[in-house]
Amino acid sequence: MKNPMIHKVAGEVQLERSIAVIGAGIVGVAVALALTSDGHKVTIIDHSEVGAGTSYGNAGGIVTGAVTPIATPGVIRSMPS
């Protein structure tokens, strides 16, 4: 009888785990996707909507050249009319 809690990854037997990911930003969702791809059951916990926190302000961009969010009041005021 096959145990649904056990699966093989790269020829090795691994147990399926239930994992909670704290935060539904770009990093949390990416981690949850990777864990799901490995066969784990994942629950994402966040106080708001998916991507509504820090990832929302930066449009989900991972940019190493800038640390200021794109949608700051100064940027919006400097836009041409």
* In the chain, domain spans: 6-77
Q: Which residues contact 54 (CB under 8 A, 6 or more apart)?
A: 25
Instruction: Please report, in angstroms and rounded to a whole number, the separation of the first and last CA atoms in the chain.
Output: 69
CB-based contact 26:60 (threshold 8 Å): yes
* Sequence-ordered list of residues with C-beta below 8 angstroms from that of 1, at least 6 positions apart, any chain: none
pLDDT in the model for residue 16? 79
pLDDT of 36: 92
Q: What is the pTM of this model?
A: 0.55
pLDDT value at 3 more than 60:
no
Which is nearest to 4 in space by CA: 42, 64, 14?
Answer: 14
* Strand, helix or coil for residue 50: coil
Please check the confidence at residue 53 and state whether its pLDDT lies above 60. Answer: yes
What is the arithmetic mean of pLDDT over 30-58? 85
